[in-house]
Chains A and B, each alone.
Chain A
Amino acid sequence: MSEDRIEQEIVIDAPRERVWAILTEPEHVGDWFGQGEPAQIDLRPGGIMRLDHGEHGTFLTKIVDVEPPRRLAYRWASGFPGEVATETNSTLVEFTLAAEAAGTRLTVVESGFTTREPAPVPSADDTYESHTGGWAGVVRALKERSEKLAV
């Protein structure tokens, strides 16, 4: 079935090692994912990365996977400031770094918006799922169709 995921990517004119450093080193993480102060990072599976999001609170992100320089994954409990991210209160954020001629293709996927209620496999006649792009697709398709009816 379609996954509840958000995906974004960008091509960076720098080698993977450089991008990996930006993704994982405290002073850089503080810049792009914090308030400018170095983030506290225990960079190992099970380790905590502490993110200061100012008025939104401090987030105790739990690191899931560290494979330099190609993959970094952590759980982010964006709805629960101050609480350590667990499987039930958070989404999974996965960064993938692919080497390209021009540098590095960096992809981020945030998924698990529905994990609080596991999504069962849809029935065989639920073909509706197969040609939509994830939850955003499901939501938009329903919205568009119902708006046409409303007119």
Chain B
Amino acid sequence: MTTEPAAAEPAAAEPAAAEAVFAALADPTRRLILDRLSRRGDASATVLADELPVTRQAVVKHLAVLDQAGLVTARRDGRERRYRVRPAGLEATARWMDGIAAQWAARLSTIKRLAERAERPERDPA
């Protein structure tokens, strides 16, 4: 009996993308930056640095990590780059986590079925 349906496994590319997202979110400053961006809509590194207890240089580095993880996008606005949150990047990770949770739910259901079957053997009383 196979209880590990291949179709329920996350696609090969998704765990790697999710790993990058988790690594990006592991830093509290980057979470704050995302939080600020998601409240403001978009902002430059200079504006973010004014609001946060870090230098503009540090903000630029954090934005690069977030960009790499697909969590923000940037566009040129005169001499500045303005950043905004990229919902699609978050969507992939949310989906990936839902997939992991669903796999555990399926495994627990199988455990339940096995345990309850073992507890009440379906034998005819001879």
| Least CB distance, B112 to chain A, in whole angstroms | 5
Is the beta-carbon distance between A10 and B2 smaller than 8 angstroms? no
A79 vs B1: C-alpha distance when bound (angstroms) = 24
A110 to B97, CA, bound (A): 11
A6 contacts B111, CB within 8 Å? Answer: no
- The listed residue (B27, B37, B87, B94) touching A136 by CB distance below 8 A is B94
Interface residues, chain B, with chain A CB atoms under 8 Å away: 1-4, 6, 9, 15, 18-19, 21-23, 25-28, 31-32, 34-35, 37-39, 41, 53, 84-87, 90-91, 93-94, 97-98, 100-101, 104-105, 107-112, 114-116, 118-119
Residue of B22, B32, B90, B107 touching A113 (CB-CB under 8 A): B22
Bound Cα distance A104, B25 (Å): 36
Having A10-B108, A13-B115, A106-B108, one finds 8 other A-B pairs with CB under 8 Å, namely A6-B101, A14-B118, A32-B3, A117-B27, A119-B27, A126-B31, A136-B94, A146-B90
A98 interfacial by beta-carbon distance below 8 Å: no
Measured CB to CB, the residues of A under 8 A from B are: 1, 4, 6, 8-10, 12-15, 18-19, 21-23, 28, 31-36, 53-56, 78-79, 104, 106, 108, 110, 113-114, 116-123, 126, 128-129, 135-136, 138-140, 142-143, 145-147, 149-150
